[in-house]
């Protein structure tokens, strides 16, 4: 799915998500730190990408495997990888005392440098191999609900290492169920995206991927409107499971409302704001950049923020001012003065 959508994902990373500001250190261990940071950030997306990948659609068309939120996650990772590689190459050229050559190699020249059989890089054979692997994984997933027997060795190692890492983390208190907060945006000022409509499919809501959407469909929740008109406690009871508590359902609802109120807002930013207690456009418009920065930073450093795939994200005053500006545009001051402060303080 990623390979066949690479051009679109790269364009998304460049035009919508923005490349992250990243500088390599000057101390001896800078390369280890840069590579480790990339591994930690990408590993944080593991569970979220599973939730936002649709096996059924990928079988028909690999490019449709990732939903919009999943594509945004991959675009952010591509942006980080691009800048990381650029910083490594910059340092390599400086330390070698050379400048990168400007060349325009022919196709024949590229082929002459290959030290592997050309069949390994031909598009058709690669597609067939990947298609066969995905189909076998899909059949196992349909039959058992998981992918174990057909898991590739590299992914199996990633899963095992991630399990070890999670086991070493301090467990959250029993009364504090996992918060399905979507990742915060990596870029300082993401570009606008289309907002939600009440008639949109429920899987367009932040934090809701194909698997959660199927569970919601079984409860009669098929659209954003259905989700917003449901009582959190009643819907959580019908869904079952500790990870779908009333507070989690309320997060889904408030994140969806935020994106409906503020069309420029992205799913990751909506999750960040609700986690910090800003659940309406009015509450956000009332905030000061310094106050919002403090609240967002506090959330990211807390237990729920550490579970977020983008817990490495470092917010800035410029980020916060941008978010507040979007909210002020849709919630004028005179309208805000007619109602009390809307910031919500929820248990951590």
DSSP-derived secondary structure letter, 210: H
How far apart, in Å, do the first and last CA atoms of the chain sit? 37
CB-side exposure of 86: number of CA atoms within 13 Å? 11
Same domain, 59 and 156: no
pLDDT score at 346? 46
Q: Is 129 exposed, middle or buried (0-12, 13-18, 19+ CB in 10 A)?
A: exposed
Residue 304 within a domain: yes
Same domain, 92 and 7: yes
Give which of 95, 99, 103, 77 is closest to 20, Cα–Cα.
Answer: 77
- Give the number of other CB atoms < 10 A from CB of residue 136: 13
Task: Based on the fold, state whether residues 257 and 344 are members of the same structural domain.
Answer: no
| Secondary structure letter of residue 187 according to DSSP | S
One domain for residues 61 and 123: no
For residue 273, the model assigns a pLDDT of 92
Q: CB atoms < 10 A from the CB of 301, how many? A: 10
| Residue 35 domain boundaries | 1-102
- For CA atoms 132, 137, 142, 144, the dihedral sign is positive
Identify whether the C-beta of residue 26 lies closer than 8 Å to the C-beta of residue 138.
Answer: no
Are residues 3 and 95 located together in one domain of the fold? yes
Radius of gyration of the chain, Cα coordinates, nearest whole angstrom: 22
* Residue 175 belongs to a domain: no
Residue 288 pLDDT: 92
Q: How far apart are alpha carbons 210 and 208 in whole angstroms?
A: 7
- Confirm if 331 and 282 have CB atoms less than 8 A apart: yes
Q: Please say which residue of 53, 79, 102 terminates a domain.
A: 102
> Residues with Cβ < 8 Å from 153, sequence gap 6 or more?
none
Tokens of 63: 């490019």
Q: What is the DSSP letter of 201?
A: B
Q: Is the dihedral of CA 23, 27, 32, 33 positive or negative?
A: negative
Same-domain pairing of 271 and 205: no
Q: What is the pLDDT along the chain (348 residues), one digit of tens a residue?
A: 777 777 888 888 777 667 777 777 778 888 888 888 888 888 777 777 777 887 777 777 777 888 888 888 888 888 888 888 888 888 888 888 888 776 655 444 554 455 544 444 444 444 555 555 655 665 665 566 666 776 677 667 766 776 666 566 545 555 555 555 544 444 433 333 446 889 999 988 888 888 888 889 999 999 999 999 999 999 999 988 667 889 999 999 999 999 999 988 888 888 889 999 999 999 999 999 999 999 999 998 888 777 765 566 778 888 899 899 889 888 876 555 554 445 555 444
> Per the domain annotation, does 188 fall within a domain?
no
- Let me know whether 212 and 122 are in one domain: no
CB 276 within 8 A of CB 295: yes
pTM of the model: 0.47
Q: Comparing C-alpha atoms, which of 250, 245, 244, 256 is closest to residue 206?
A: 256
Burial (Cβ within 10 Å: 0-12, 13-18, ≥19) of residue 211 = middle
Say if residue 162 is in the same domain as residue 206. no
Residues 6 or more apart whose CB falls under 8 angstroms from that of 337 comprise none
Number of neighbours of residue 241 by Cβ within 10 angstroms: 10
Closest CA to 203 of 311, 70, 12: 70
- Asked if 246 and 291 sit in the same domain, the reply is no
In a domain, 275, yes or no: yes
Give CA 231 to chain center in angstroms: 27
Q: What 3 state SS string does 168-183 have? A: HCCCCCCCCCCCCCCC
How many structural domains does the chain have? 4
Residue 195, SS3 per DSSP: coil
Whether the CB-CB separation of 211 and 51 falls below 8 Å is answered with yes
Q: Which is nearest to 256 in space by CA: 182, 184, 196?
A: 196
Say what the pLDDT of residue 133 is: 61
Q: In this structure, are 79 and 15 located in the same domain?
A: yes
């Amino acid at each position: 799915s990623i390979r066949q959508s690479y051009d679109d994902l790269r364009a998304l990373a460049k035009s919508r998500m923005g490349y992250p500001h990243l500088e390599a250190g000057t101390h001896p261990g800078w390369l280890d730190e840069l590579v480790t940071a990339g591994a930690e950030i990408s590993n944080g997306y593991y569970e979220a990408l599973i939730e936002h990948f649709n096996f059924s659609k990928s079988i028909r068309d690999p490019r449709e495997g990732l939903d919009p939120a999943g594509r945004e996650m991959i675009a952010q990772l591509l942006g980080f990888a691009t800048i990381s590689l650029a910083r490594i190459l910059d340092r390599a050229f400086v330390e070698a005392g050379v400048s990168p050559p400007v060349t325009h190699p022919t196709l024949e020249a590229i082929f002459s440098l290959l030290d592997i059989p050309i069949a390994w890089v031909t598009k058709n054979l690669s597609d067939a191999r990947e298609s066969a692997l995905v189909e076998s994984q899909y059949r196992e997933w349909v039959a058992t609900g998981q992918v174990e027997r057909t898991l590739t060795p590299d992914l199996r190692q990633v899963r095992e290492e991630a399990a070890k890492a999670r086991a070493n983390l301090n467990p959250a208190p029993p009364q504090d169920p996992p918060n399905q907060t979507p990742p915060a945006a990596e870029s300082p000022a993401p570009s606008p995206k289309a907002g939600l409509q009440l008639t949109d499919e429920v899987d367009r809501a932040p934090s809701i991927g194909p698997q959660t959407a199927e569970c919601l469909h079984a409860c009669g929740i098929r659209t954003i409107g259905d989700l917003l008109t449901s009582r959190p406690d009643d819907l959580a009871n019908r869904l079952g499971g500790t990870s779908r508590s009333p507070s989690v359902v309320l997060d889904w609802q408030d994140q969806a409302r935020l994106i409906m109120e503020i069309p420029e807002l992205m799913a990751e930013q909506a999750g960040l704001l609700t986690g910090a207690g800003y659940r309406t456009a009015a509450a956000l418009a009332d905030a000061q950049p310094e106050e919002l920065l403090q609240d967002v930073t506090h959330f990211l450093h807390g237990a729920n923020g550490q579970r977020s795939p983008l817990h490495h994200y470092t917010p800035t005053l410029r980020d916060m001012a941008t978010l507040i500006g979007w909210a002020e545009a849709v919630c004028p001051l005179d309208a805000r003065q007619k109602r009390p402060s809307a910031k919500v303080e929820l248990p951590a």
